[in-house]
Structure 1
């Protein structure tokens, strides 16, 4: 059972326990009140039984429970903050989905943004929060792309806010600059309004207290990403076809490691191991640099293509 469905069941069980307590205290003189409470108790029992039998959802959902200065208990939330936080989270999900499916452009409209649309389907208890869900007419047997994007976006926010610096450094190198900017906007909004957050997505639950919000904002605002492409001469040391990983000894002594572009198949990589290892070659690399406060913290390489160097003297001899 997903965390959100478990929350709904727990709320129903809490209501049921409260009703049972009230019924225990009602006298025979309160017959009408007892009748109403027993009717409500029967509804809750039916609801809980149905929840226990519900199949696991394959659609996207996320519950955002806000606390702190913008929230008045479970009564309400500042409209400007609440709408801004939900809109920024939706924007982050849209960009993660675009990156995973069609690629996220440096500028311009987000591709297929309508596919990332989520709806506020309920106001949830536990401070004050919103339940966001993917609305679909038909059931699916496998997780939707949007469900995966929501869970990835939620985990990304958690990584920015948690204390583990190594996990942050490892993850941020995979992040797009536009995703980074939206992450910064989310934490900045939370920080400015003195808000906290409890987030439930899929099987996971994340907590963002004031320290996590401050840490997330500092990391997102102090980090930038540069991307470019370059060609290098050297020799391929080898590739791991199943993992799509490579090792390349560049001319000058540097050994570079990274991923091979997924456009190349495992069969292609097996051929590289047979034909190109130890051969003078030129590779095309996509290079991503993570800068922390202007200093390079990490570099990531993606091998886009490789071609053996042609020995011009040998070629001329063969032609002669």
Structure 2
């Protein structure tokens, strides 16, 4: 698996070879031939890797700071905890995106197996690990769920560490609380160890220094996300398939709940409910997840609802 770290290394080597060619004497024919051959080989490899978009997940986690000794060693306890937390983040994000992550209990084995990543090699010049998902017999035509999850977690980290508090606040609206809790552990281990981190995917590299990790640590520590699931009986007032939004009047409190529809409910099922018009005047048993967020400013909280299941009574 080639990440941006590897591509940058290839480009750096190509630049060094070009410099050697420029300094080589015209009389040193064999040396020039050898260098030109090496440069052509490097340019071809770079072009091939840049053209290959890649559809399976591959990422390099590169660390520096207190747990790292030069480019030759890293604290085993730190490395083990960090890699375990990162794998857990990916597994939960894959399960959440597939609508398989419940409010409690273990992550479904199917999601854990699909999200499993292996350490393929080490990265030197600091110290890091190249992780890659297991390849199928044939690479998928489109990005694998694990590749998408890796990109989503990097985007999440960027928003959580950003100087822009609005970016972090918006993330709280969408993040699953179990992903949030694992992210808390992940950031805490890195920050408390006095480490910095780079995350290199195929075509981008994002960096997290002590300042940005400290900002994320404080925000996450001061934010509380909780989630509950409840089965309620009532009337389904509306369902919008395209936007995946719902309105449901619960019978016991005459309260109207509004929110999003989980991926657990298929698009076909939602469209059938709308087209057949079987909502009006019918009782339904709905499983609704309620997420509460205590924001880091300490002045306000927010609540969102997600429709997980719907059964006609």
**Structure 1 length-normalised TM:** 0.76
How far apart, CA to CA, are the structure 1 residues paired with 2:204 and 2:272?
37
Q: 1:96 aligned to 80, 93, 97, which one?
A: 93
Tell me the equivalent position of 2:72. Answer: 76
Match for 2:289 among 267, 280, 286? 286
The answer as to whether partners of 2:196 and 2:208 remain within 8 angstroms in 1 is yes
How many residues align? The count is 300
User: Is 2:123 the counterpart of 1:119?
Assistant: no
**1:177 to partner: Cα distance:** 3.7
Structure 1 gap ranges (5+):
309-320
The DSSP-based 3-state class of the residue aligned with 2:96 is: helix
Q: Secondary structure at the match of 1:131?
A: strand
Report the CA distance between 1:232 and its aligned residue.
6.3
1:69-101 per-position Cα deviation (integer Å, ceiling 9, x unaligned): 33455x234232334322321221122223333
Please give the per-residue CA displacement for 1:215-266, whole angstroms capped at 9, x wherever unaligned: 3223333323131315365x65533222121235668786542123424421
Deviations 1:266-297, CA, capped at 9 Å, x for gaps: 1213444x752xx5966633322223479872
Asked whether the 8 Å contact 1:161–1:215 carries over to 2, the reply is yes
Question: Aligned runs of 1:44-193 on 2, under 5 Å?
Answer: 44-52=42-50, 54-72=51-69, 75-80=71-76, 81-101=78-98, 103-105=100-102, 106-108=104-106, 110-112=108-110, 113-124=112-123, 127-136=126-135, 137-193=137-193
Tell me whether 1:302 sits opposite 2:279 in the alignment: no
Partner of 2:199: 199
Whether 1:265 aligns to 2:270 is yes
CA distance in 1, matches of 2:207, 2:273: 44
Alpha-carbon distance change, 171 to 203 in structure 1, aligned in 2, over 3 angstroms: farther
Deviations 1:114-166 (A, max 9, x none): 32222233334664433222231422211112112222222222232223434
Distance in 1 between residues matched to 2:99 and 2:250, nearest whole Å: 32
Rg: which structure is higher?
1
Give the deviation of 1:18 after TM superposition. 0.8
Q: Distance in 2 between matches of 1:98 and 1:185?
A: 19
- Post-superposition CA distance 1:3-61 (Å, at most 9, x none): x6555333222211112222333457877766664554343234234335x43211011
Contact map agreement 1:241 1:267 (CA 8 A) in 2 = no
RMSD (CA atoms) = 3.6
Distance 1:33 1:246 in 2: 71
**Cα 1:194/1:216, change in 2 over 3 Å:** same
* Alpha-carbon separation, structure 2, partners of 1:271 and 1:171: 35
Alpha-carbon separation, structure 2, partners of 1:134 and 1:39: 34
Residue aligning to 1:218: 218
Contact 2:4 2:203 in 1 (8 A): no
1:316 match: none
Unaligned runs of 5+ in 2: none
- In 2 relative to 1, CA 26–55 (structure 1 residues): closer, same or farther, beyond 3 Å? closer
Residues in 2 aligned to 1:269 and 1:208: alpha-carbon distance in whole angstroms: 46
Distance 1:110 1:219 in 2: 29
TM-score w.r.t. the length of structure 2 is: 0.77
Q: Which moved more, 1:295-304 or 1:59-68?
A: 295-304
Residues 1:47 and 1:307: Cα distance change in structure 2 (over 3 Å):
closer
Determine helix, strand or coil for the equivalent of 1:108.
Answer: coil
